Amino acid sequence: MKLSGWGRSPLVNAQVYVPRDLEALQKLLASKPSVIARGCGRAYGDSAINSSATIDMRRLNRMLAFDPKTGQLIAEAGVVLCDIIAAFLPRGWFPMVTPGTKFVTLGGMIAADVHGKNHRKHGSFRGCVDWIDVMGPDGSIQRCSSKSHVELFEHTLGGMGLTGIILRAAVRLRAVETGWIRQTTIPAPNLKSAMTALERAQDSTYSVAWIDCLATGENLGRSLVFLGDHANASDLPTYRSLHPFATPAKRKLSVPFNFPCFALNRFSLRAFNALYYRIGVWNRGQQLVDWDSYFYPLDAVADWHRIYGRKGFAQFQCAIPIKRSEEGLSALLQTVAKAGAGSFLAVLKRFGPQESRFSFPMEGYSLALDFPITTKTSHLLANLDRITIEHGGRFYLAKDSRMSAETLRASDGRVASFVRMRAKSGWKSSFQSAQAERLVL
């Protein structure tokens, strides 16, 4: 069947298998030239696609144990984040780190070592992983952690499924008093003030900025900065504090068909972005926001990726080291603004320090942009690649669908040792994705 990631490009013909148990999984590993695990397919590009055998892990989705003292959950890799929240938020627990969508599997979050709006304060997903069980090329299972089978553990977190199949994991949840977030909105007229606001926000658990990337000149980098903290029971109005974990019911929106390309021209986008900024300015200051709207605004619009039309879209996400962040970000934003190819979503995050074998985050700033796929944007994207590399930055594989092997190597000195490790451990021949082939990993 034709398979793609969330960005709907590239589309690859692939055999998909849906094993129900470990034995079926072992058989697949033994009988196929190579395989790759797949969760919910929320990676944007081709990281979860292998044409000969893509293994849909979502049937291996049992929750196995929970310790209410420590908040440790043991679950199979196919468990979906929204089910974890549904089960444990009512009991006062929330994920330590969450990406911007709740439709991801535990395995997918570990493989990409996802980051949230709290990277600065709490690091990436690995920070809450106590151990993982990984199936190797010969079907044997290794329980690894930062203390045992360390190499496997280190390479699997952020290893994009290229080191084995994650079967189970023990992860710690965070104790929360309510399902609400105290949000502060700060309008920032340009990039510098946005960065200043993010730097000042050290004490906030969550922080993120939405950038209007069509604003130019003095307004370059015009943003809304959103800070957030888990609300305590005493922060809630009385009528809510009786049910501190209840989420108000929302209407489900959906995008029923592929948007025609012309709907996304620079005028409609400019108007949209300007309006969004205005609304933010009106709403400046503090608000209480429920967890679902705060963390997963896009999930409320089912199939929003269709908005970019049939050809799909590409996301660009880079991280730039703190010393060169300001310079790098302004160069990126200037290039985008000049091309006039802005996106609905331009998200700026401040990352805290992180040392990993292959995970994406590093201390500095991360910028994410979406573009519909056209010849013009591919040229623009190549320019953004170049600027990122010039400023010592690197790219997020979970979002990539198009970069070249050379670009990856130029941006990330860790590639060589990852590739060596893959060859040495037999992972390379057994675990392959379309992305790994493209990037020669």
Ligand X SMILES: Cc1cc2nc3c(=O)[nH]c(=O)nc-3n(C[C@H](O)[C@H](O)[C@H](O)COP(=O)(O)OP(=O)(O)OC[C@H]3O[C@@H](n4cnc5c(N)ncnc54)[C@H](O)[C@@H]3O)c2cc1C
Under rule CB under 8 A, residue 69 binds other proteins: no
Q: What is the 3-state secondary structure (H, E, C) of the chain?
A: CEECCCCCCCCEECCEECCCCHHHHHHHHHHCCCEEEECCCCCCCCCCCCCCCEEECCCCCCEEEEECCCCEEEEECCCEHHHHHHHHHHHCEEECCCCCCCCCEHHHHHHHCCCCCCHHHHCCHHHHEEEEEEECCCCCEEEECCCCCHHHHHHHCCCCCCCCEEEEEEEEEEECCCCEEEEEEEEECCHHHHHHHHHHHHHCCEEEEEECCCCCHHHCCCEEEEEEEECCHHHCCHHHHCCCCCCCCCCCEECCCCCCHHHHCHHHHHHHHHHHHHHHHHCCEEEEEEHHHHHCHHHHEECHHHHHCCCCEEEEEEEEEHHHHHHHHHHHHHHHHHHCCCCCCEEEEEECCCCCCCCCCCCEEEEEEEEECCHHHHHHHHHHHHHHHHCCCEECCCCCCCCCHHHHHHHCCCHHHHHHHHHHHCHHHHECCHHHHHCCC
Question: Please, what is the minimum distance in Å from the beta carbon of residue 145 to ligand X?
Answer: 16
Nearer to ligand X, 42 or 391 (CB): 42
Question: Of these partners, other proteins, ligand X, none, which one is at the site of residue 179 (CB under 5 to 8 Å by kind)?
Answer: none
Nearer to other proteins, 62 or 379 (CB): 62
Question: Of these partners, other proteins, ligand X, none, which one is at the site of residue 40 (CB under 5 to 8 Å by kind)?
Answer: ligand X
Q: Exactly one of 11, 12, 28, 63 binds other proteins (CB under 8 A); which one?
A: 63
Pairing of strands 93-95, 165-175: antiparallel
Question: Of these partners, other proteins, ligand X, none, which one is at the site of residue 287 (CB under 5 to 8 Å by kind)?
Answer: none
13 to 52: interface string for ligand X, x by CB under 6 A:
-----------------------xxxxxxxx---xx----
What amino acid occupies position 199? E
Pick the piece of the chain touching ligand X (CB under 6 A) from 23-31, 161-169, 193-201, 416-424.
161-169
Question: Of these partners, ligand X, other proteins, none, which one is at the site of residue 171 (CB under 5 to 8 Å by kind)?
Answer: none
Pick the piece of the chain touching other proteins (CB under 8 A) from 62-70, 129-137, 277-285, 287-295.
62-70
Cα 431 to Cα 422: distance, rounded to the nearest angstrom: 9
Nearer to ligand X, 119 or 182 (CB): 119
Under rule CB under 8 A, residue 86 binds other proteins: yes
Nearer to ligand X, 42 or 240 (CB): 42
Question: Please, what is the minimum distance in Å from the beta carbon of residue 205 to ligand X?
Answer: 15
Residue ranges in 390-409 that form contacts with ligand X under rule CB under 6 A: 398
Question: Please, what is the minimum distance in Å from the beta carbon of residue 196 to other proteins?
Answer: 44
Question: Please, what is the minimum distance in Å from the beta carbon of residue 63 to other proteins?
Answer: 4
Q: Take residue 106 and report the two structure tokens written for it.
A: 């535990």
Question: Of these partners, ligand X, other proteins, none, which one is at the site of residue 86 (CB under 5 to 8 Å by kind)?
Answer: other proteins
Question: Of these partners, other proteins, ligand X, none, which one is at the site of residue 87 (CB under 5 to 8 Å by kind)?
Answer: other proteins
Q: How many residues bind ligand X (CB under 6 A)?
A: 34
Under rule CB under 6 A, residue 208 binds ligand X: no
Pick the piece of the chain touching other proteins (CB under 8 A) from 61-69, 209-217, 310-318, 400-408.
61-69
Under rule CB under 8 A, residue 83 binds other proteins: yes
Return residues touching ligand X (CB under 6 A): 5-6, 36-43, 47-48, 57, 77, 99-101, 104-105, 107-109, 111-112, 114-116, 160-161, 165-166, 298, 398, 433
